[in-house]
Amino acid sequence: MDSLLTTVLLPLALGVVMLGLGLSLTTADFARVLARPRAAAIALACQIVVLPLACLGLVEAFGLTPTLAVGMMLLAASPGGTTANLLSHLAGGDVALNISLTAVNSVLAVVTLPLVVNLSLAHFLGGSGAIGLQPDKILQVFAIVLIPVVLGMLLRRSVPAFAVRTERPVKIASAVVLVLVIAAAVAENRAILLDGLIAVGPIALLFAALSLTVGYRVPRAFGVTRPQAIACGMEIGIHNSVLAITVALSPALLANAEIALPPAIYGLLMFLPAGLFAYAMARRTAMEGAVVTP
């Protein structure tokens, strides 16, 4: 388990992804959540409460093995990724709300992710190898999630011109890194990939579709505007699979390649439902605009 991938490349890849997020954030993004309390509260409730419960129902219904079930729960507990912001823009969503939700979710994940994973380990595996809520492991999750984000925010504040110039290249690099690191994780553990793909592929696709649906439909049911609901759908429907893979494979945390399989497979498959969702929302917005335009 102590390979170059798990000890160096994965943490570095996650650092690039989270740094890119930080470069796009300001303190106003956190304050903006208060300006949209209904949309933010509904989205966060879906992310923190509804999705883990829905994922639990899915893994029980599909009868996943305990280890793969923990991997799915780890994925459900992971916050949204920067890919959600791009797809939200393409779909006509409220990107400012997306960015704000990603910022808040990333902070909350320091507590919610270890909590959900620890409960899942206790339920499915009797607590063996738990990430726990011990101070040392909380600090490790804090370090891999928040320190690069804070660094990016400090760069944006202290050298804004540099941050603006590098924001787009870093985002592109984040997308490339996302694909490469998932491919590398899959390649290193290819011996169990086929069985994992057969067992997890359908549930990963279903979970992605369910996440997008919950993220869009629930806010709409509470009167949230369509652009805000699209933003919620993308934020809730697109999880940070690199973070989940890093937590699963890190020798200091879970150190379990099988737990990493669900987020790795999800990271490859989720672009299909997310892309279809973005296309459907963009087309619907365009059609309604054409009807309104004289």
The C-alpha atoms of residue 78 and residue 108 are separated, in whole angstroms, by 10
Q: Which of 213, 234, 207, 223 is nearest to 91 (CA)?
A: 234
The 10s digit of each residue's pLDDT in 139-193 is: 666 777 778 878 888 888 888 887 777 777 776 776 676 667 667 766 766 666 6
Domain ranges of the chain: 4-283
Global pTM exceeds 0.75: yes
The C-alpha atoms of residue 163 and residue 135 are separated, in whole angstroms, by 33
Query: Which DSSP state fits 191?
Result: G
- Beta carbons of 92 and 282 less than 8 angstroms apart: yes
The C-alpha atoms of residue 238 and residue 240 are separated, in whole angstroms, by 7
Token pair recorded at residue 169: 């290249």
The 10s digit of each residue's pLDDT in 48-80 is: 999 999 999 999 999 999 999 999 999 999 887
Radius of gyration of the chain from its Cα atoms, rounded to whole angstroms: 18
CATH of span 4-283:
1.20.1530.20
